């Protein structure tokens, strides 16, 4: 059995670790190639796009793929919809592995928005010194905010266009609560912008913002394509794969 993991996330690497060495299983992890030095999972890897849904469907056929796990970032909407179309065309089972989203708690001052553009429009009424943690892509949404100062944190350096008043912090999670507290204090941050990526690695910024009573603009994640089963953790996803391999029952809900 050949399983393709559409990866690039912590959950994708963990799933590959759980499945690596399974008898009768060939494992390929696909990375988008947007990070210069990705953390590679065990097993075979490929880097780069497939050429849309048709290209992915052809790759599934040419490489005799028996199942696909979409374990991409919750905001990697294009590849997720391409995967759904390609899997349907190729009659290959598809699972979406998605870490649960964050949930606001007492004391949070969240402003939920549907896009980066909507986040940019909300900012002038919320603060002047922005901690922008949405990654290096999509910064053009904030280019017109000349009166605001941005601290942009990303794994790799962003490319133009981007906000005119900006400092870049190159860093990769997981982050600590003490570190996030100091970052907010040192840079005099008065508003945080984040995507609802979920997970524990980058969640401390939300706690630090809550403690400082800062407003947080949260970009809602796009939906998983209709009809695609969703599981929240690598362990259950590995069980789903082994079930399709004929190596045991599946007791999950995906």
Mean pLDDT rounded to a whole number for the chain: 93
The 10s digit of each residue's pLDDT in 50-70 is 999 999 999 999 999 999 999
Closest CA to 25 of 6, 44, 38, 53: 44
On whether both 152 and 204 belong to a single domain, the answer is yes
On whether both 77 and 116 belong to a single domain, the answer is no
In a domain, residue 254? The reply is no
In a domain, residue 252? The reply is no
On whether both 76 and 91 belong to a single domain, the answer is yes
Count of other CB atoms within 10 angstroms of residue 126: 19
Q: Are strands 94-97 and 67-70 parallel, antiparallel or unpaired?
A: parallel
**Res 40: pLDDT:** 85
**What does the alpha-carbon distance between residue 142 and residue 149 come to, in Å, rounded to a whole number?**
10
- Output the DSSP codes for 179-192: HHHHHHHHTT--EE
- Using the predicted structure, report yes or no on whether residue 38 has a pLDDT greater than 80: no
CB 179 within 8 A of CB 204: yes
Three-state DSSP at 2 gives: strand
- Using the structure block, give the residue that is written with the tokens 């100062």: 149
In a domain, residue 25? The reply is yes
pLDDT band at 32 (very low <50, low <70, confident <90, very high): confident
**Contacts (Cβ under 8 Å, ≥6 apart) of 135:** 154, 155, 195
On whether both 31 and 91 belong to a single domain, the answer is yes
pLDDT band at 254 (very low <50, low <70, confident <90, very high): low
In a domain, residue 180? The reply is yes
**What does the alpha-carbon distance between residue 141 and residue 156 come to, in Å, rounded to a whole number?**
18
Domain that holds residue 82: 2-100+222-244
Q: Residue 219: beta bridge partners?
A: 113, 195
- The CATH number of whichever domain residue 10 belongs to comes to 3.40.50.720
Closest CA to 97 of 83, 112, 113: 83
In a domain, residue 250? The reply is no
CA distances from 198 to 28, 89, 96, 190, 245 (A): 25, 31, 15, 22, 30
On whether both 168 and 228 belong to a single domain, the answer is no
- Using the predicted structure, report yes or no on whether residue 253 has a pLDDT greater than 80: no
Closest CA to 157 of 135, 176, 140, 179: 135
DSSP single-letter state for residue 140 = G
Number of H helices, E strands in the chain: 7, 12
Total of domains in the chain: 2
In a domain, residue 249? The reply is no
């Amino acid at each position: 059995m050949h399983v393709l993991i559409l990866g690039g996330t912590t959950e994708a690497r963990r799933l590959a670790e759980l499945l690596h060495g399974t008898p009768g299983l060939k494992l390929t992890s696909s990375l988008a190639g947007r990070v210069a030095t990705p953390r590679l999972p065990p097993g075979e890897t490929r880097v780069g796009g497939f050429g849309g849904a048709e290209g992915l469907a052809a790759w599934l056929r040419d490489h005799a793929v028996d199942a696909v796990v979409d374990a991409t970032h919750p905001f990697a909407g294009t590849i997720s919809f391409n995967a759904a179309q390609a899997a349907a065309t190729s009659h290959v089972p598809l699972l979406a592995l998605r870490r649960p989203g964050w949930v606001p708690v007492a004391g949070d001052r969240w402003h939920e928005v549907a896009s980066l553009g909507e986040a940019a429009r909300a900012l002038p009424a919320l603060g002047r010194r922005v901690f922008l943690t949405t990654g290096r892509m999509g910064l053009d949404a904030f280019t017109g905010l000349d009166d605001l100062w941005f601290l942009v944190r990303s794994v790799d350096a962003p490319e133009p266009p981007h906000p005119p008043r900006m400092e870049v912090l190159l860093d990769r999670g997981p982050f600590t609560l003490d570190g996030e507290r100091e970052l907010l204090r040192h840079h005099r941050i008065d508003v945080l912008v984040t995507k609802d990526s979920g997970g524990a690695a980058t969640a401390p910024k939300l706690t630090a913002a809550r403690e400082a009573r800062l407003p947080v603009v949260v970009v809602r994640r796009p939906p998983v394509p209709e009809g695609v089963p969703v599981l929240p953790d690598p362990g259950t996803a590995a069980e789903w794969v082994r079930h399709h391999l004929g190596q045991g029952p599946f007791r999950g809900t995906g």
